[in-house]
Amino acid sequence: MNNSARKVVVIGGGPAGLTAGLYVKRAGIDALLLERELPGGQAVFSPLIENFPGFPDGIEGAELMTRIKKQAERFGLEIRTFAAVVRIEGKDRMRKIVLEGDEVGAIAVIVATGRSPRKLGIPGEDEFKGRGISYCATCDAPLFSGKEVLVVGGGDAALEEALHLSRFVRRVILVHRRDELRASSYLEGKARAEPKIEFVLNTELREIKGDQTVRSVVLENNKTGEVSEIEVSGVFFYVGNAPNTDFLKGLADLDDAGYILTDSSLQSSVRGIFAAGDVRANSFKQVILACAEGALAANSAMRYLEEVGEKKAYGSPRA
Ligand code: NAP
């Protein structure tokens, strides 16, 4: 049992969490970042981030996150990996962050735990996970070189990943439940111009079949009711995400979908607990905004330290 107590604990090592940690440590304040897996967050799976200022040719998500992590570590941010938070206890000045097999004390907490891919709950989805089913084209596309794959979803992630897959596979069949895509017109334009991507609209994935690996999928046209089975070697899911906030249930106020509600300083309904990035209700779900929210939450946490009688926030920037 490690009963260490910190001034600021950041939970989550994506762009929001790493930026928050960078700001706090650069201001000379003791901070620890807890990450349930490895740092980087969902952004590491983005093959190319084209809208993060400073990179006119775009930058791979993994490369951008490596740089942000390195920058945070330059200011001495301590990152503890494979540290999954189970719950936060205590309503007074010192909170207890309970981990699996450990606990950490914290005066201010910044929650930047992001989101995880949503599942469809259809037959075959669990059975073939890792055996033809993937949630990450960036990681797995080369495994499907020269093959035919299905992408499910009509948002930015589905189109971005379909474009990435098209560099490796023979054909991408993109299935979307409506006749109109949700993705930006920029990404739609790029995907429509890619001859390897075929759009199958008004259609839902009903089942994934196979033996050792995925062999085929059952699709249903939700306008005509027509059911078809087509052969594919892989299925990539991009049907949205759910926030990682289970450990906050019953403590902080969440919206109906489970995202953390905050005020304009990014403080949650619990004083001293802040939220930043994709896990926050109404956040813009972009890396640039996650970084910005990380910076703002760090600044608010440092002000909170002053308010509760901790030493002046060591040159923390005033908004
Ligand atoms: P999203 O925008 O929520 O899109 C999810 C897609 O999955 C939608 O097309 C949705 O269909 C479909 N879907 C949801 N539930 C479904 C179900 N039960 N059955 C079938 N289809 C279902 O999620 P996302 O694409 O992961 O993007 C999340 C956020 O990150 C967005 O704000 C996005 O703009 C951002 N993002 C941005 C970039 C970029 O700027 N390059 C890249 C990736 C993500 P409907 O459209 O019918 O609801």
Classified by CATH at the fold level, domain 119-237 comes out as FAD/NAD(P)-binding domain (3.50.50)
Q: Which residues of the chain have pLDDT under 50?
A: 1-3, 313, 315-319
The CA–CA distances, whole Å, from 60 to 47, 66, 74, 153 equal 5, 10, 21, 22
At 220 the pLDDT is 98
Say if 5-116+241-307 and 119-237 have the same CATH topology.
yes
Is the whole model's pTM more than 0.85, yes or no?
no
What architecture does CATH give domain 5-116+241-307?
A: 3-Layer(bba) Sandwich (3.50)
At 318 the pLDDT is 46
Q: Is 154 in the pocket of ligand 1 (CB under 6 A)?
A: yes
The token pair at 240 is 């949205």
Q: Is the distance from CB of 75 to CB of 22 less than 8 angstroms?
A: yes
Q: Whose CA is nearest to atom 39 of ligand 1?
A: 156
Is 140 marked active-site? yes
- Ligand 1 centroid from CA 80, angstroms: 31
| C-alpha to C-alpha distance for 24 and 283, rounded to whole angstroms | 21
- Cα 115 to its chain centre, rounded Å, is 4
- Ligand 1 centroid from CA 187, angstroms: 12
- Ligand 1 centroid from CA 233, angstroms: 23
What does the domain layout of the chain look like in residue ranges? 5-116+241-307, 119-237
DSSP single-letter state for residue 312: P
Is 291 marked active-site? no
Q: Is 241 in the pocket of ligand 1 (CB under 6 A)?
A: yes
Q: Is 177 in the pocket of ligand 1 (CB under 6 A)?
A: yes
In the chain, the amino acid numbered 98 is V
DSSP single-letter state for residue 47: S
Catalytic residue among 139, 179, 246, 255: 139
- Ligand 1 centroid from CA 156, angstroms: 6
Q: Is 277 in the pocket of ligand 1 (CB under 6 A)?
A: no
Catalytic residue among 30, 136, 156, 278: 136
Q: Is 131 in the pocket of ligand 1 (CB under 6 A)?
A: no
pLDDT tens per residue across span 153-186: 999 999 999 999 999 999 999 999 999 999 999 9
Is 179 marked active-site? no
Q: Is the distance from CB of 114 to CB of 277 less than 8 angstroms?
A: yes
- Please choose from 159, 177, 199 the residue to mutate so as to test ligand 1's pocket, defined by most ligand atoms within 8 A of CB: 177
Q: Is 23 in the pocket of ligand 1 (CB under 6 A)?
A: no
The token pair at 146 is 């020269």
| C-alpha to C-alpha distance for 11 and 80, rounded to whole angstroms | 10
- Please choose from 59, 182, 190, 208 the residue to mutate so as to test ligand 1's pocket, defined by most ligand atoms within 8 A of CB: 182
User: What sign does the CA torsion over 284, 290, 294, 296 have?
Assistant: negative
pLDDT tens per residue across span 38-77: 999 989 888 789 899 999 999 999 999 999 999 999 999 9
| C-alpha to C-alpha distance for 96 and 188, rounded to whole angstroms | 46
